[in-house]
Amino acid sequence: MEYNIKENQGEVEIELAGSLDATNASKLLEELKKLQDKDIKSIIFSVADLEYIASAGLRVIIFTKQKIGRDASMKLISPQDEVKDVIRMSGLDNFLEIEE
């Protein structure tokens, strides 16, 4: 998996590519923990190149909502069908807006 995290004036963009699973989710989680004490208003997951997300990846999204962006808006941008289906089946689309 490849990722890139950009933070600018309360907005965080997380670009993900490849597969987000148990083999690499902890590394991404450690990077995201650095944002815990910041005033984050918007979190965007850009996932056009993310081919697969496992339960460990879903936990990263939940952590991001609970610990970084409790009151922030969250978006998932350009998910592939498989990723979108997993997000919807897990119920994360209740707080994670999906944009095609």
Count CB atoms within 10 A of the CB of residue 57: 25
Q: What is the pLDDT of residue 55?
A: 96
Q: What is the pLDDT of residues 33-65, one digit of tens each?
A: 999 999 999 999 999 999 999 999 999 999 999
CATH code, domain carrying 33: 3.30.750.24
Average pLDDT, rounded, for the chain: 96
Single pTM value for the model: 0.94
Kindly report the CA angle at 90 between 22 and 7, in degrees rounded to 5?
A: 65
Domain around 76: 2-99
Q: Provide the domain count of the chain.
A: 1
In angstroms, rounded to a whole number, what is the distance separating the alpha carbons of residues 38 and 20? 24
In angstroms, rounded to a whole number, what is the distance separating the alpha carbons of residues 40 and 35? 8
Secondary structure letter of residue 97 according to DSSP: E
